[in-house]
Amino acid sequence: VNHLLGIKHISAADIQLIFETADHFKEVINRPIRKVPSLRDVTIANLFFENSTRTRLSFELAEKRLSADVVNFSASSSSVNKGETLIDTVNNILAMKVDMVVMRHPNPGAGVFLSKHVDASIVNAGDGTHEHPTQALLDTYSIREKLGEVKGKKIVIVGDILHSRVALSNIFCLQKLGAEVKVCGPNTLIPQHIKSLGVEVEHNLDQALQWCDVANMLRVQNERMSTRYFPSTREYVAQFGLDKQRLEQINKSIVIMHPGPINRGVEISSDIADSHHAIILNQVENGVAIRMAILYLLASKLKHYSAETL
């Protein structure tokens, strides 16, 4: 059975295949008739044990555009609240003849754990602070679309790196495609091991912006903090918040990204988030094509479809 559990163990060739397949689906979803029959007879369960807007809706739309049968599950309104385990929950859903499971879960490694215990294709839609592979693929695809290629480009990921599955998956994906990656943020929000991934740390946002082609601004994830972190929000905004004044100080044009949800006025000001510098909504648009590509490629193996059925 095939899974997408993270970016760490997939190859650059696999990423390129996903991008080429997404190119095709992006063209499909811009046609007047946006639906294709590719996943007819495939049943997919979207299991969300943690809140989501973009990822959940994007997967559901991708599945429906591919003509899959879709069931949605939110832990907050389920029998998880009566004490049912993850494996029992998923095996009960699979007993209803489900082929693939898209899962978001607060525990790092939840997708890997599940893939070892259930007989279905698992797609990780974000597992705690570990990986968010589809976000990294749509982010990197959006850079490729905007700048022509990823190889040789300089990307800085700014903010709460410590709690960010988006940062880790982006680092793996961008490096596999030959980009140079730096992270920028307060010491308290940068994990110790980051340099072992070949990533440089920059604590001065102005210098990081001067260096980069692309700045990916992350949200400070207050919900994952076990204690109060330093600096305070006011200090964070002063040192690491991106606003018009800061962007005007650098003498070149850079691409601004954000995975959402945005804390407007904290990591990024509204005038920049809504400006022509930002590709935030292009990232969201590309997310549907990227998820269609991933589901299609996984289901192709599942159902022994050939690439010609695209």
Of the candidates 152, 178, 198, 261, which one interacts with ligand CP according to CB under 6 A? 261
Among positions 53, 79, 187, 222, the unique one binding ligand CP when judged by CB under 6 A: 53
Segment near ligand CP (CB under 6 A), from 46-54, 75-83, 207-215, 248-256?
A: 46-54
What is the SS3 assignment for 46? strand
The reply to whether 260 sits near ligand CP by the rule CB under 6 A is yes
Under a CB-based contact definition with an 8 Å cutoff, are residues 261 and 222 in contact? no
Whichever of 261 and 265 has its CB closer to ligand CP, that residue is 261
As measured in angstroms, the least distance from the Cβ of 170 to ligand CP is 11
CB 95 within 8 A of CB 119: no
Site string for ligand CP, 159-188 (x = CB under 6 A): ------------------------------
55 forms part of the interface with ligand CP (CB under 6 A): yes
Annotated binding-site residue? 249: no
Under the binding rule (CB under 6 A), the answer on residue 135 touching ligand CP is: yes
* Residue 234 is labelled as binding a ligand: no
Give alpha helix (H) positions in the chain.
12-29, 54-65, 86-94, 110-117, 133-147, 165-176, 205-211, 233-240, 244-249, 270-273, 280-303
Q: Name, in order, each residue with C-beta under 8 angstroms of 260's C-beta and a sequence gap of 6 or more.
A: 53, 54, 280, 283, 284
Residue 259 sits in the site that holds ligand CP (CB under 6 A): yes
Q: What is the DSSP letter of 103?
A: E
Peptide bond into 186 cis (omega under 30): no
Give the per-residue contact string, 209-248, with ligand CP (x = CB under 6 A; - = no).
Answer: ----------------------------------------
Q: Is residue 54 part of the contact set for ligand CP (CB under 6 A)?
A: yes
Q: Is 76 one of the binding residues for ligand CP (CB under 6 A)?
A: no
Q: Is there a contact between 256 and 278 (Cβ–Cβ < 8 Å)?
A: yes
In the bound state with ligand CP, the residue whose beta carbon lies nearer, of 135 and 216, is: 135
Q: Is 135 annotated as a binding residue?
A: yes
The rounded distance, in Å, linking the Cα atoms of 164 and 211 is 22
Indicate which single residue of 2, 52, 107, 282 sits in contact with ligand CP (rule: CB under 6 A): 52
203 is in an annotated binding site: no
* DSSP secondary structure letters along 136-195: HHHHHHHHHHHHS--TT-EEEEES--TT-HHHHHHHHHHHHTT-EEEEES-GGGS-GGGG
Residues that bind ligand CP (CB under 6 A): 52-55, 126, 135, 259-261
Which residue positions form the known binding site for L-aspartate? Answer: 82, 165, 219
